[in-house]
Amino acid sequence: MRGNRLPEADFVAPLLEGDRVVLEPHSRNTAENAAFTKELVKPKLGELWLLVTSAQHMPRAIGCFRRVGFPVEAYPVGWRTGGDAYLGAPSTFGDALARFDSATHEWVGLFVYWITGRTSEFLPSP
């Protein structure tokens, strides 16, 4: 949740059915999400938990979950490439800025979380 926006869990919950999906609605950042989720579900040894987040955000998220001692399997979604991906120069200056802003957000986030001890490694492996 950023600013005054509603938690994403509020929008996702009505779309999901069953008792195998757990949403954590109180965190304000990835580090809090890892800690709050571990407390919420109290994972037991041998259980398999999937961490679903964007592929771009997955390294920081995995690092945060590892830091709090919650072993999860990565399930990245929202890939920014596909079979028709264009890897050349962006077509507009605005598109270039958007790509740069998005990538910078994650790289700075990884560095800050690593320096402040919120993630287990600077660039966690799968």
**Which ranges of the chain would DSSP assign to H, the alpha helix?**
8-12, 30-41, 58-67, 93-115
C-alpha distances in angstroms, 62 versus 43, 92, 116, 120? 15, 33, 16, 9
pLDDT of 117 strictly over 80? yes
Question: Model confidence over 76-103: pLDDT tens digits?
Answer: 887 766 555 555 666 777 777 777 777 8
From CA 73, how far away is CA 70, in angstroms rounded? 10
Quick one: pLDDT at residue 63? 94
Question: Model confidence over 60-77: pLDDT tens digits?
Answer: 999 999 999 999 999 988
CA end-to-end span of the chain: 26
Quick one: pLDDT at residue 88? 63
Question: What is the chain's mean pLDDT, rounded?
Answer: 81
More confident residue, 38 or 107: 38
From CA 21, how far away is CA 13, in angstroms rounded? 9
Quick one: pLDDT at residue 65? 95
